[in-house]
Amino acid sequence: MSSAISLPAVVPAKNFSPWRELYAAALFETDKNRVPARIAEAEKAIVARARELFSAGSDTIEEDQALDDALYGLRALQSCLEVNTLAA
């Protein structure tokens, strides 16, 4: 049984930031010691992109939703790390 993780869709932007790549890097990091740093990097990039979109004031609902979904995914990953740390 194979389960695929799909990355959120993104509306192309003039000043596209690398939040999607950082998000994927956090999700697929195999070194447990590096995951927290990857999560922090991705969160920072996602928040920066959300601020860019807010400042632009244009209709970016699809990317806004993708950013929200990505933050939710990173927080879920962070919760899993915390549970594993407590269980160890």
Rounded to 5°, the CA angle 25-30-32 comes to 105
Domain ranges of the chain: 19-87
pLDDT score of 5: 53
pLDDT score of 74: 97
Structure tokens belonging to residue 28: 């697929």
Structure tokens belonging to residue 3: 């389960």
CB 11, CB 59: distance < 8 Å: no
- Written as tens digits, the pLDDT of the chain (88 aa) is 444 555 554 445 544 568 999 999 999 999 999 999 999 999 999 999 999 999 988 788 999 999 999 999 999 999 998 887 777 6
pLDDT score of 2: 45
